[in-house]
Chains A and B, each alone.
Chain A
C-alpha cells in the first residue's frame, strides 16, 4: 500500500496519478465520490463506462427498462444482455471493468415520490434520460436540493450538453421554461438517432462530472454546447439566469416536487 492505493490500483489509475491536476489526491477524491446516472441507455452507456473506468467509487444507476436488440446500435455496454434489466446489465459491465466501483441499481422509474430520497445519496446527478418529463423533474429536483447536474440530450444527429450548478448559474428551465406540448416532438422510438451521437454527448457529460469531482478546469456552467454531427460543428450558446425562471427565478412557482407538473411522455 502506498498512499492508500493497492498495487493494482496504482497500475489501474497510473495515467491519472501522473497528471499534476489529478495525482493520488484527485484519484482518492474520485474513489470516494458518488454519482447518480439517470438512465442506462444511449447517453448512460458512455457515462457509466467512463465514470467506472475513471474510478468514481459509487455509481447509482436508475433505469426501469430492459435491454432490447434495437438498443445495441448505440448502447455499447449491454452486449449479450438482451432481455435483462438495463441497470443490472450496466452493473455487470462495471463489475467486469473495475471491481473498485460499488454499483447501486434502481430498477424503477424516477418520479416525484422517489426523486428527493434518491438524489440525497449522491454528490452529482448525470441526466441521460430521453424524455422531457424526466428531464424537467431532474432539473427541478436538482435546483430544489442544490445538487449539481450534468444535462445531455440527443435528437437524430444533434445533441446538447450543459452543466448546472443550482443558484450559481442558470438551470435548464432558465433556457427552456417548459417542455414542448406532447405531439410537437416525435416520441423516443419514432425519432431515430445516429448510433455514435450519444457517445459524443455522454462522454462530454462524463468529462464534466470528473472535472466537477476533481475541482479542476472550467465547467459548462452558463454555456450549452450544441453539437451537429452532420455538419460536425460544436456551437456554444450562452445561457443566462432567468429572473422569471419558474424554479430558480426570483419568485419561483415551483417550490416542491409535485407529481402533476411532470407528465409522462415516455420511459427513460
Chain B
C-alpha cells in the first residue's frame, strides 16, 4: 500500500524557468500515481508556468499559496 498522506517536498528556491518545471517533472517521475508533491518557488514567472505545464501533462494542482514577498508553495497530485 502506498502512503497517500506522505508529502514529498522539492525546494526550488534560486531556480528559474524552464528548470523549475524540468525538476518538478523529474521529481514527479519518482513518485507513485496519487502521491502529493509540494514545490517551493521564489521565481515569480514559475508560479504560472509550472502549474500550467503540469496540468498539460495531466497532473492536478491542489493549491498555490503565497508564503512571502517572493515565495510560493505549489501543491501537486501526481496523475
Determine whether the beta carbon of A3 is less than 8 Å from that of B29. yes
Return the contact of B19 from the options A3, A14, A24, A25 (Cβ within 8 A): A14
Determine whether the beta carbon of B18 is less than 8 Å from that of A3. no
When C-beta atoms are compared, the residue in chain B nearest to A10 turns out to be B22
When C-beta atoms are compared, the residue in chain B nearest to A5 turns out to be B26
Return the contact of A25 from the options B21, B29, B53 (Cβ within 8 A): B29
Determine whether the beta carbon of A20 is less than 8 Å from that of B29. no
Determine whether the beta carbon of B26 is less than 8 Å from that of A3. yes
Rounded to whole angstroms, the CA-CA distance of A17 and B30 in the bound complex is 14
Determine whether the beta carbon of A10 is less than 8 Å from that of B19. yes
Inter-chain contacts of A232 with B (CB < 8 A): none
Chain A residues 4-23 with CB under 8 Å of chain B are: 5, 10-11, 14, 17-18, 20, 23
Rounded to whole angstroms, the CA-CA distance of A25 and B30 in the bound complex is 10
| Given A20-B56, A20-B57: A10 in contact with B26 (beta carbons within 8 A) | yes
Count residues on chain B whose CB falls below 8 Å from chain A CBs: 13
- Whether A191 sits at the interface, judged by CB under 8 Å, is no
Rounded to whole angstroms, the CA-CA distance of A5 and B27 in the bound complex is 11
- Whether B60 sits at the interface, judged by CB under 8 Å, is no
Determine whether the beta carbon of A3 is less than 8 Å from that of B21. no
Sorting the interface of chain A by its residue count into under 10, 10 to 19, 20 to 34 or 35 or more gives: 10 to 19
- Whether B38 sits at the interface, judged by CB under 8 Å, is no
Query: In the complex, how many angstroms separate the beta carbon of A1 from the nearest chain B beta carbon?
Result: 10
Determine whether the beta carbon of A18 is less than 8 Å from that of B29. no
- Whether B23 sits at the interface, judged by CB under 8 Å, is yes
Determine whether the beta carbon of A17 is less than 8 Å from that of B56. no
Rounded to whole angstroms, the CA-CA distance of A20 and B29 in the bound complex is 12
Rounded to whole angstroms, the CA-CA distance of A25 and B19 in the bound complex is 17
- Whether B25 sits at the interface, judged by CB under 8 Å, is yes
Inter-chain contacts of B27 with A (CB < 8 A): 2-3
Query: In the complex, how many angstroms separate the beta carbon of B7 from the nearest chain A beta carbon?
Result: 17
Inter-chain contacts of B57 with A (CB < 8 A): 20
Query: In the complex, how many angstroms separate the beta carbon of A24 from the nearest chain B beta carbon?
Result: 5
Query: In the complex, how many angstroms separate the beta carbon of B21 from the nearest chain A beta carbon?
Result: 7
Rounded to whole angstroms, the CA-CA distance of A2 and B18 in the bound complex is 15
When C-beta atoms are compared, the residue in chain A nearest to B21 turns out to be A18
Determine whether the beta carbon of B18 is less than 8 Å from that of A14. yes
Chain A residues 216-246 with CB under 8 Å of chain B are: none
Inter-chain contacts of B26 with A (CB < 8 A): 2-3, 5, 10, 17, 24
When C-beta atoms are compared, the residue in chain B nearest to A3 turns out to be B26
Chain B residues 1-50 with CB under 8 Å of chain A are: 18-19, 21-23, 25-27, 29-30
Inter-chain contacts of A25 with B (CB < 8 A): 29
Q: Known contacts A2-B26, A10-B26, A20-B57; can you find 15 more A-B pairs with CB under 8 A?
A: A2-B23, A2-B27, A3-B26, A3-B29, A3-B30, A5-B26, A10-B23, A14-B18, A14-B22, A18-B21, A18-B22, A23-B29, A24-B26, A24-B29, A25-B29
Instruction: List B residues at the A interface (Cβ < 8 Å).
Output: 18-19, 21-23, 25-27, 29-30, 53, 56-57
